[in-house]
């Protein structure tokens, strides 16, 4: 049973999820290793969100996406995922860079990011919490082939 107490707060949902996992007879070492590792590995999907948004707007405005443009989208999306700053500021500034480099309108992407970010953030937090809990449960309950 997974609870999401505040969709806009990873800390709150993570703390509650950790408490619930520890009550499920799952080895604490596995919970304490796998759950935080899942949070670090899954950087809330900024890379995928930025790349998808860029491709969507480029196709919407009939901007040609060749190898050069695809490389620009991939590089900026990947590197911006490693930046630790405000989520919307990072996404908006990265999108502006992509839009300017491949020649597509900036305002549509910024508007989409500004309006949809609170909803995307809530869904992303819920999905990440559930995925981390599922990973911990699957890893902890896998059959141990080395037992005799």
Three-state DSSP class for residue 45: coil
47 pLDDT above the threshold of 80: no
Per-residue pLDDT reduced to its tens digit, 114-140: 787 777 777 777 777 777 788 888 888
**Closest listed residue to residue 58, CA positions, set 79, 46, 72:** 72
148 pLDDT above the threshold of 50: no
Give the largest CA-CA distance in the chain.
64
Query: Is the sign of the CA dihedral 54, 56, 60, 63 positive or negative?
Result: positive
Give the chain's count of helices (H) and strands (E): 6, 0
Per-residue pLDDT reduced to its tens digit, 15-40: 777 778 778 878 888 888 888 777 76
Comparing 9 with 127, the larger pLDDT belongs to 127
Burial of 73 (0-12, 13-18, 19+ CB in 10 A): buried
**Closest listed residue to residue 137, CA positions, set 4, 37, 34:** 34
For the residues 71-88, what does the mean pLDDT come to? 73
Residue 68: per-residue pLDDT: 92
Residue 4: per-residue pLDDT: 44
Q: Which stretches of the chain are assigned E, i.e. beta strand?
A: none
pTM exceeding 0.95: no
Q: What is the mean pLDDT of the chain?
A: 75
97 pLDDT above the threshold of 50: yes
Comparing 81 with 111, the larger pLDDT belongs to 111
Burial of 129 (0-12, 13-18, 19+ CB in 10 A): buried
Residue 7: per-residue pLDDT: 43
Angle, CA of 119, 52 and 82, to the nearest 5°: 80
Comparing 1 with 110, the larger pLDDT belongs to 110
> Are the C-beta atoms of 3 and 20 separated by less than 8 Å?
yes
User: What is the gyration radius of the CA atoms in the chain, in angstroms?
Assistant: 19
48 pLDDT above the threshold of 50: yes
């Amino acid at each position: 049973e997974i609870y999401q107490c505040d969709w806009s707060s990873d800390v709150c949902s993570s703390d509650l999820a950790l408490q619930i996992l520890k009550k499920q007879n799952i080895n604490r070492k596995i919970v304490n290793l796998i759950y935080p590792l899942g949070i670090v590995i899954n950087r809330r999907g900024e890379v995928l969100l930025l790349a998808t948004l860029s491709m969507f707007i480029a196709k919407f405005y009939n901007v040609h996406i060749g190898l050069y443009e695809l490389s620009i989208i991939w590089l900026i999306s990947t590197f911006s995922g490693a930046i630790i700053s405000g989520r919307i500021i990072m996404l908006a500034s990265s999108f502006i860079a992509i839009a300017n480099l491949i020649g597509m309108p900036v305002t549509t992407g910024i508007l989409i990011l500004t309006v949809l970010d609170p909803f995307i953030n809530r869904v992303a937090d819920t999905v990440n919490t559930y995925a981390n809990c599922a990973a911990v449960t699957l890893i902890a309950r896998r059959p141990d082939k080395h037992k005799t």
